[in-house]
Amino acid sequence: MEATVSDERPAPDRPATFREVFGQGEFRAVFAASVLSWVGDYVAKAAVTVLVYQESRSVALSAAAFAVSYLPWLVGGPLLAALAERYRHRRVMVTCDVIRMLLTVLIVLPGLPVWAILALLFAATLANPPSQAARSALLPAILTGDRLVLGLSLNASASQAAQVVGYLAGAAVAAVSPTAALLLNAATFGLSALFVQLGVHDREPTLSAAHRTHLLRETGEGFRIVFGTPVLRAISLLVFSAMLFSIVPEGLAAAWAGERSGNGLDSGAAQAVIMAANPVGYIVGGLLVGRLVSPAGRLTLMRPLAVLAPLALVPALLNPPPVVVALLAAACGFAVAGLIPTANGLFVRALPNGYRARAFGVMATGIQVIQGGAVLVTGMLADRFSVPVVVGVWSAAGVLLMLFTALRWPDRATVDAAVKAADLANAGTGSPAGGRPGSATRRPGERAPRRHAVM
């Protein structure tokens, strides 16, 4: 049955089905492993903050324990992600899961000082970039065409659901025993490694030994291909812009709820409603748009949804009650979920295989930095102005930015040319894996073609 589903290709004018995607045994293994890892990560974040607070009675150190998991992306995300290009993806994913499992077990050893807990947590999170980059590079080898877009939608929706479940489970278990929560996290990594080892084929590295230079140069090539290729640059700007505005309600939820306490919900309930709204909207949007809208329809909707994402938050200027704020945040999440998987699928099509992991490292690091920066800046503004004004004006500026980005979108000929160039490279007639971006499709003595401007 699996072979039949695998060979069956959806018609170009209809969306792929859940059965076709989950009919791929490798995708089932990667999906299950990813969900386990995500849930484990969020359980650990909740548990470690409790453990550090119990050991130190310091709110600052407890917050540092939460924030340390983001540091690897900020200090070396693209560099670490580039490792996933050099080695077999299955081996990278399994090795990273085993490392995280062992280090998490060490965290629960009795009598460890707080600095040792933070150091072990940081060491464990260093495995996140290569593991996630390997998974991102592996998915296009498992799923093709519209199945990839639906698979990305499923992954994104599952990630949002795992965040909610992981935080709730982590907080509940950690309230009784932080040690038990961390052991649960270690077990999820062990199961994840087992699923990948048994369910994923062992493919050759995308960057062969003959094309390796050194890690810094290879990392730089990841930046050059993302920002030096007009189509990839346009997609990255669209994704970064979406992240710049969609995270704000979640980041300011506590302050927003505090300003509107006494409006039918206490501040804690209002904060929870606002924070959960965007992930819920993302889950619904990812599943509905990914499954019910045709591939051509999703491409057509991509730019309108990009504008709708910040536009949905502009009514915050009217200072609505928390339930309405949650509806606005959910609408924003819905729009972003309809946009991101389609943009990601197009990004993969226009990207040579040998750059997948490195390009993922660039994009993931950019998203982490932009989201953190957006929350930091809007938080500083909210110290001087009311939260509704900050969110409303910030989102109105986002509408203008999205309109500009949409109007500068590459024309169809430019997109088709980028996809064709990537296909040639993947077929072995273009740039070799690890070669200089944009350089290897020229014959000796041939002049470099002019780049198409982003429209």
The string of pLDDT tens digits covering residues 221-260 is: 888 888 988 889 999 999 998 888 888 887 777 677 766 6
Q: How many CB atoms lie within 10 A of CB 148?
A: 22
CA 125 → CA 75, 129, 188, 427, distances in Å? 12, 8, 15, 35
pLDDT tens track for 139-188: 888 888 788 888 888 888 888 788 777 767 776 777 778 888 888 889 99
3-state SS string over 126-183? CCHHHHHHHHHHHHHHHCCHHHHHHHHHHHHHHHHHHHHHHHHHHHHHHHHCHHHHHH
Residues 6+ apart with CB under 8 A from 249: 256, 274, 277, 278, 313, 316, 325, 328, 329, 332, 391
Rg (the chain; Cα; Å): 22
CA distance 332 to 289: 14
CA distance 345 to 287: 15
Measured in whole angstroms, the distance separating CA 254 from the mean position of its chain's CA atoms is 24
Q: What angle do CA 399, 400, 406 make, to 5 degrees?
A: 85
Cβ 129 vs Cβ 72: under 8 Å: yes
Q: What angle do CA 410, 416, 422 make, to 5 degrees?
A: 110
CA distance 262 to 252: 18
Cβ 93 vs Cβ 33: under 8 Å: yes
If DSSP codes are grouped into helix, strand and coil, which group holds residue 428?
coil
Helix or strand holding residue 432 (H, E): none
CA distance 354 to 137: 9
Residues of the chain with pLDDT under 70: 1-14, 59-60, 62-64, 66-67, 167, 171, 207-214, 254, 258-268, 271, 428-455
CA distance 311 to 402: 10
Q: Which two tokens stand for residue 44?
A: 């650990």
CA distance 414 to 6: 31
Cβ 329 vs Cβ 281: under 8 Å: yes
If DSSP codes are grouped into helix, strand and coil, which group holds residue 430?
coil
Name the amino acid, one letter, at 91: R
Helix or strand holding residue 426 (H, E): helix 412-426
CA 296 → CA 285, 292, 303, 360, 387, distances in Å? 17, 12, 13, 24, 38
State whether the Cα torsion 157-159-163-168 is positive or negative.
positive
Per-residue pLDDT, 1: 34
Residues 6+ apart with CB under 8 A from 171: 46, 50
Residues 6+ apart with CB under 8 A from 62: 49, 50, 52, 53, 56
State whether the Cα torsion 305-309-313-314 is positive or negative.
negative
Per-residue pLDDT, 66: 64
Cβ 13 vs Cβ 296: under 8 Å: yes
Q: Which two tokens stand for residue 321?
A: 């009650």
Cβ 415 vs Cβ 347: under 8 Å: no
Q: What is the DSSP letter of 255?
A: H
Residues 6+ apart with CB under 8 A from 300: none
